[in-house]
Amino acid sequence: MSETGLDIDEQLKLARAQMYEGRFDAALASAETVLQDDAEHIDALYIKSVCERYLGRNDRALASVDQLKSVSPDFGRAHQEEGHIFKAMGDFEGAMAAYRRACQCNPVLQASWKAQAEILEGWGRRDAALEMRGQEQRIAGMPKPLVAISHLLYEGKLVKAETACRHFLQKNPHHVEAMRLLADIGSRLGILEDADFLLESALEFEPDNIQVRIDYIQTLRKRQKFAEALKQSELLYRRDVENPIFQSIYAIESMQTGEYEQALELFEKVLQRIPEDPVTLTSQGHALKTFGRHEEAVLSYQKAIATDPCHGDAYYGLANLKTYRFSDDELRLMESQEQANRLSYQNRIHICFALGKAYEDRKDYDTSFGHYERGNELKRMQSRYDADQMTIELNSQITACTPDLFVKQSGKGCDAPDPIFILGLPRAGSTLLEQILASHSQIDGTLELPNILSLAHRLRRQKQASNDSLYPDVLHDLDADQLRTMGQEFIDGTRIHRQGAPYFIDKMPNNFRHIGLIKLILPNAKIIDARREPMACCFSGFKQLFAEGQEFTYGLQEIGQYYRDYVRLMEHWDAMLPGAVLRVQHEDVLDDLDGQVRRMLDYLGLPFEQACIDFHQTERAVRTASSEQVRQPITKASVDLWRHYQSHLQPLNEALGSKILEPQQ
């Protein structure tokens, strides 16, 4: 409660009313009253900056905007307000840059499109101005409720956005833009099946709606339905084969299905039209890296940075090569970008992780940790991960997957022997094991396949007609036909990733959560648990920025608790399914490659092949963070890296606990 007797919401409502009435002194005072109770209140900081601008206090307004951006870097209206301030000060270059950032954060900020058009018209750039006017008119033509919903969406107020969007759709059930917005909300909330259904339905109503098809492709990719995403992207590409946006989307989906030559050809076409596009240059770098063309990847990333020094993904692309070392000039450039407070949220995350790697390579471990911690902190702010909820979820596997379950359901499922699951935690050496085994003539390497996780999600959402049990309890109630069908669906659904060998690897680490399900639907599948010393494994995960998922890695306590839960669940699987899982310790592979290779091949029932020892000579696409490392001979360089950061890792020590750590000491 403030000195005025109003609570924060009431005080903020008063400040807005005063601002809209043009009473800027009064509104400023009301906003400052809110900030006395909550110095980082986003709406109060925004009102404060607007009022200061209208009162002609531009320097103060810029300081308020800087504070607002530090609290919420992707708050579009903060960048828009910065644009208005620069424009009022006559700095039109600065204003244009701010307005562009505003529209990247929130594409329905009509005032930012309008202001860009006015500046471009003043510069005589009529064609570019017309594009901005087109966006301005597009927003003007949208129903006002959808504009409001869009603001909620882009400002991260997803629950309010969902409620408002569903209310709008109740009155307008076939409104395609509302369906697209609800799908976007669902995608951000992780409800991808619903987003998929909404977008597929929207396309039936408007097959020529380009944005809906692009969103549909992105959702299919998030669900790792790569074949369908490729099909949809090709349909888009065939509409206009010279359109660089369509070329780029088709290239990205080609990468996902292993069509790297086609992807690189398409990226080259885009760059012929837009030779200095940093996003395309970075995507090209990712493709070249995956394809093993290291030097070309470096050049592509470097060109992206030269074109746009704010483009964080390119810096992190270089860092994620693991073998690249940043120059002094590149380090200074990253530092200046990170300190300038003009980066988007995602660019800041990328640069923080890249700086962590750069200082790690220079053995400045304290500075390195500071950047890793900042990057992880930013990721945690975006995340909805709940470590205790994950513990409950993993414990449910222990409760449900009892000896009675495996006795009752034995002899069922699909008898295909094809799959080899390599699972555990990320950064535990699974990519190395995959590269070793995929060098065998009878084994295909594939990807971190989503199929088992998708099946578990489906079972979790669907109650059986005969009872109310949900996954994993429902495993007791599935009949032989259901189990066999699910196993066959896995075999059929993963075939697109195979090259014709009799066996193939699914390297999704999170599959350890579902070993019970795997052995029921695919009783002849082989399972390898890639295990690494806990401190090394957890810290390696903490300093890795993952493309998607693995949200438990963005905090030392969180990843320590997850590792502890993983060990407990694996002990349960060992007790329930003796001999079903082969545990391979990463450190043992480094110490005795030949012995561990023979041990794995014996478990798989396959003859020894020297190519498995010479794995680094195998030419194949590798998509994970270890892609460059597995193209080198075995090295122990990173085994004890975590010890250099030991003074910072007490939260990890405590989360792991003595039971996990003592066997390692």
Average pLDDT over residues 511-520: 98
Give the mean model confidence (pLDDT) for residues 465-482.
81
Q: Is the dihedral of CA 371, 373, 378, 383 positive or negative?
A: positive
pLDDT at position 624: 47
Shortest CA distance to 639 belongs to which of 535, 546, 509, 531? 535
At 25-42, the pLDDT tens digits run 999 999 999 999 999 999
> Which residue matches tokens 């929207």?
202
Round to whole Å and give the CA distance between 579 and 212. 49
Alpha carbon 539 to its chain's center: 19
Which residues are paired to 530 by β-bridges? 424, 584
Instruction: Write out pLDDT tens, residues 36-87.
Output: 999 999 999 999 999 999 999 999 999 999 999 888 888 999 999 999 999 9
What's residue 469's pLDDT?
56
Contact indicator for 102, 112 with CB cutoff of 8 Å: yes
Strand partners, 506: 421
- State the pLDDT at residue 634: 66
Q: What is the pTM for the complete model shown?
A: 0.84
185 to each of 6, 156, 180, 210, 217, how far by Cα in Å? 33, 9, 9, 19, 16
Mean pLDDT of the region 353-377: 97
Question: Residues near 167 by Cβ (< 8 Å), separated by ≥ 6?
Answer: none
As a whole number, mean pLDDT of residues 353-365 equals 97
Question: What does the alpha-carbon distance between residue 388 and residue 369 come to, in Å, rounded to a whole number?
Answer: 26
| Per-residue pLDDT band at 664 (split at 50, 70, 90) | low
Per-residue pLDDT at 326: 97
- Phi–psi pair at 584, nearest 5 degrees: -120, 115
Asked if 64 and 45 touch (Cβ cutoff 8 Å), the reply is yes
Q: Which of 428, 439, 452, 598 is closest to 515 using CA atoms?
A: 452
Does the pLDDT of residue 320 top 70, yes or no? yes
Q: What are the pLDDT digits (tens) for 607-662?
A: 999 999 999 887 655 544 444 454 456 666 677 899 999 999 999 999 999 888 87
**In which element (H, E) is residue 526 found?**
strand 526-531
Interior/surface letters 313-334, b for 16+ CB within 10 angstroms, e for the rest? bbbbbbbbbeebebeeebbebb
Report residue 233's pLDDT band, with 50, 70 and 90 as the boundaries.
very high
pLDDT of residue 280: 95
Which residue carries 């890795």 as its tokens?
544
pLDDT of residue 616: 84
Cα separation, 32 vs 648, whole angstroms: 37
Residues 518 and 421 sit within 8 Å (Cβ to Cβ): yes
Start-to-end CA span in the chain (Å): 53
Tokens of 75: 């708050």
Share above pLDDT 90 across residues of the chain, in percent, rounded to a whole number:
81
Residues written for the chain: 665
Q: CA distances (Å), 446 to each of 462, 541, 570, 655, in order?
A: 29, 22, 24, 33
Q: Is the pLDDT of residue 464 over 70?
A: no
In angstroms, the CA 82 to CA 101 distance is 10
Distance CA 91, CA 83 (A): 9
